[in-house]
Amino acid sequence: MSKQIAIDGSNFVSSIRSTLSSTPTTKLSLAACISAALFSNYALAEESRRVQLLEEQVAVLEEQQAESNRMNNVTVNGFFTLSAGMASNDSGYAGYDKTLDYVPETKVGLQASFEVTDSTFLVAQLVSRAEQHWRPEMEWAFISHTFDNDLTVRAGRLRVPLYMYSDYLEINFAQPWLRPPEEVYAVVPVSSYEGVDFVYTVLFDEAEWQFQAYTGVGSDPNEETDFGTDVEYDDVIGLASTFSYNSFSVRASYVMTTLNSEQAHVPGTGIPLVDFNDSDARFIGLGASYDDGDLLVVAEWTKSEVDGGGPDVATSAEGNWQDVNSAYISAAYRFGRITPYVTYAMMETTDDDERALNLVNQIAFDAQRSTYSAGLRYDINANMALKFDLTYSGDFGDSGATGGLSGNIVTSLDNAYTGASNVIEDDTMVYTASLNMVF
């Protein structure tokens, strides 16, 4: 085969040479033909290479566009609070005692929102607290869809909308205080539930009225309540409504549920409490606020009750859980970056007579106190703020009353078991500073 090719090639070259030597015109024509043929082959190869290069560039651009679209549909935010505080004694307010502590209120969170369509979103919020050994906990995980009639339906793990600041409960940067008033915001030990809610907002000229209805079940599966047990809420049915006009806003909320408690213990001890089943729980909250951008005044009142269950005292919530009335009023004024605030808060149990014959339950649940706070917020920049807070809590009632504070409860129970005089702290002062940021 190679020989045949060589022969054919020799003949071809000889033929060209013969043709080229015949006439000048013929020589030029053949040269032009050969050049044209060679150029044509080169042009085709070059064109093919360019097409291939363009195809590769288009593929890269398509991948970049797809990646950009994915990134544009995802919004990721976060928040962080580093807090340090100590108290004048070991009565145990907001988790603090005489030792300087960074754990009770330090936390970090991430929130991601994925835009499935223009009206459908996936939202998740993950919070990790130092108090829970930085174990991540999903506070929000829901899908949201807004229909053409502006009705929004959300389903998944949602925040229980009990308070005016429920949506910002974990984000200290979004709150005027260093912490929400414990007397109101620490009454209910569960903050999230699994279920569905319906949100509808009616718009007026300068006002809006929002209605929210929800149902589901609630629990704290990580068993990190003060009572050391998983408190479950079944058959949750709730309503919340907020009316806003210019700088004014008023809010009302109501929720009822069936409460079940596994084996609980007195906070800070191994002393068992009575576990109860199928008890009826109700919560009412009323709030109002005025915020013109400079002056902020906000107040809330709440009432929680747990009754029934049974059929006997061992499975009833009567006397085995506390009914509580609580309230606060707070005022703050923004002087540029600096915002000082003052707050008065109170709480009292309203079912003490149900525990008249049970000393342990009396010590664990009977409580009242008045709390005064003064604080300062300094905005370092648009997403970072320093806060300082000084809180005094007292008016615990009769001598020997705990004020519902964990340290006092432990001391009082120790005194009862050892027969010692029941001398406990009758007030406390708490000093706290925190760095708060959102990103």
Whether the CA torsion 358, 359, 360, 361 is positive or negative: it is: positive
Band of pLDDT at residue 55, cut at 50, 70 and 90? confident
Which pLDDT score is estimated for 14? 47
Q: Per DSSP, what are the bridge partners of residue 332?
A: 296, 341
Please give the average per-residue pLDDT across 257-264, as a whole number.
80
Which pLDDT score is estimated for 226? 65
Which pLDDT score is estimated for 230? 65
pLDDT at residue 67 tops 80:
no
Mean pLDDT across the chain, nearest whole number? Answer: 85
CA 89 to chain centre: 32
Which pLDDT score is estimated for 75? 92
> How far is residue 238's CA from residue 254's CA, in Å, rounded to a whole number?
6
Give the chain's length: 439
**Could you tell me the pTM of the whole model?**
0.81
Which pLDDT score is estimated for 19? 44
Contact 135, 107 (CB under 8 A): no
Please give the average per-residue pLDDT across 163-168, as a whole number.
92
Instruction: Tell whether omega for the bond before 272 is within 30 degrees of 0, i.e. cis.
Output: no
Paired tokens of 321: 């859980």
pLDDT at residue 81 tops 80:
yes
Which pLDDT score is estimated for 361? 86
> How far is residue 439's CA from residue 120's CA, in Å, rounded to a whole number?
24
Band of pLDDT at residue 54, cut at 50, 70 and 90? confident
pLDDT digits (tens, 9 = 90+) for 224-240: 556 666 677 888 999 99
Top pLDDT among 400 and 133 is at 133
Which pLDDT score is estimated for 63? 73
pLDDT digits (tens, 9 = 90+) for 359-397: 888 898 899 999 999 999 999 999 999 999 999 999 998
> How far is residue 412's CA from residue 274's CA, in Å, rounded to a whole number?
19
Band of pLDDT at residue 192, cut at 50, 70 and 90? confident
> How far is residue 165's CA from residue 153's CA, in Å, rounded to a whole number?
21
pLDDT digits (tens, 9 = 90+) for 15-39: 444 444 444 444 445 555 555 555 5
Which pLDDT score is estimated for 318? 81
Please give the average per-residue pLDDT across 214-219, as a whole number.
87
Band of pLDDT at residue 40, cut at 50, 70 and 90? low
Top pLDDT among 401 and 387 is at 387
184 Cβ contact list (under 8 Å, min separation 6)? 163, 300, 302, 326, 327, 328, 345, 347
Which pLDDT score is estimated for 34? 57
pLDDT at residue 99 tops 80:
yes
pLDDT at residue 168 tops 60:
yes
> What element of type H or E holds 186?
none
**Percentage of the chain with pLDDT > 90?**
57
Which of 63-67, 137-141, 305-309, 338-342 is least confident? 63-67
pLDDT digits (tens, 9 = 90+) for 101-110: 999 999 999 9
> How far is residue 14's CA from residue 12's CA, in Å, rounded to a whole number?
5
Paired tokens of 435: 């760095």
pLDDT at residue 58 tops 80:
no
Question: Locate tokens 């707050």: which residue?
Answer: 343
> How far is residue 69's CA from residue 233's CA, in Å, rounded to a whole number?
41
Pick the closest to residue 84 from 101, 69, 99 (CA basis).
Answer: 101
